[in-house]
Amino acid sequence: MHILNTETLEKSESLNYSSLYDQDFMLWIENTVQLLRNQRLTELDLENLIDEVEDMGKNQKHALESNLTILLMHLLKWQYQSVKRSNSWKYTIREHRQRLQKAFRDSPSLKRYCDQVFHDCYHDARSLAADEAGLEINLFPIESPYSLIETLDQDFLPT
């Protein structure tokens, strides 16, 4: 772990800590970590720290939604374009399932979020699959033909 040296601390202090966030983000992070480690909590740039922590959660949720949407899109393509099935599609299905499983291991509460956004992700996947395959969207069911459990199951492939 990186510990700030005296020179770095002096540089960050001369920049005015509240404006450091906009001037040198990496230095702001290093300074914030050092302040937290030293329990100098009253010196923290709380407004920006709170924003960054919130953004971290949003980024995790966006990554989950993206992986789930891509997974569902490829399951639809697998099912509805069986003559075009490829190892590349199978690879993408496995890769995005693995990404989701890793996210759930790191943050188990994301499973609840996954359940909450499953319907919306399916609708996005449905549109993307239609566009990518050059098929009418009405070919794909309005509601997901796959349960969340099937979608995440490493061995499930629709027929």
What confidence tens digit (pLDDT) does each residue in 65-78 have?
Answer: 999 999 999 999 99
On whether both 87 and 128 belong to a single domain, the answer is yes
Give a yes or no: residue 157 inside a domain.
no
86 in any annotated domain: yes
Whether 76 and 141 map to the same domain: the answer is yes
Banded model confidence at residue 3, pLDDT cuts 50, 70, 90: very low
Q: Is the pLDDT of residue 12 over 50?
A: no
Number of independent structural domains in the chain: 2
Give residue 128's domain range: 55-152
In a domain, 133, yes or no: yes
Instruction: Tell me if 21 is assigned to some domain.
Output: yes
pTM to 2 decimal places: 0.79
How far from 41 is each of 7, 12, 76, 138, CA to CA, in Å? 21, 16, 50, 56
Per-residue pLDDT of 101-154, as tens digits, reads 999 999 999 999 999 999 999 999 999 999 999 999 999 999 999 999 999 999
> How distant, in Å, are the alpha carbons of 72, 73, 118, 121 from that of 124?
9, 8, 10, 5
Grade residue 17 by pLDDT with cuts at 50, 70 and 90.
Answer: low
> Do 77 and 140 reside in the same domain of the chain?
yes
Residue 18 confidence class, pLDDT cut points 50, 70, 90: low
Q: Does any domain span residue 84? A: yes
Q: Within a domain: residue 50?
A: no
Both 118 and 68 in one domain: the answer is yes
Q: Check whether residue 38 and residue 62 sit in a common domain.
A: no
Tell me the per-residue pLDDT of 26-64, one tens digit each, with 9 for 90 and over.
999 899 999 999 999 999 999 999 999 999 989 999 999
- 17 and 84 inside one domain: no
Residues 6 or more apart whose CB falls under 8 angstroms from that of 92 comprise: 70, 71, 74
73 and 143 co-located in one domain: yes
Q: Are residue 88 and residue 127 in the same domain, yes or no? A: yes
Task: Tell whether 69 and 35 lie within a shared domain.
Answer: no
Confidence of residue 6 (pLDDT cuts 50, 70, 90): very low
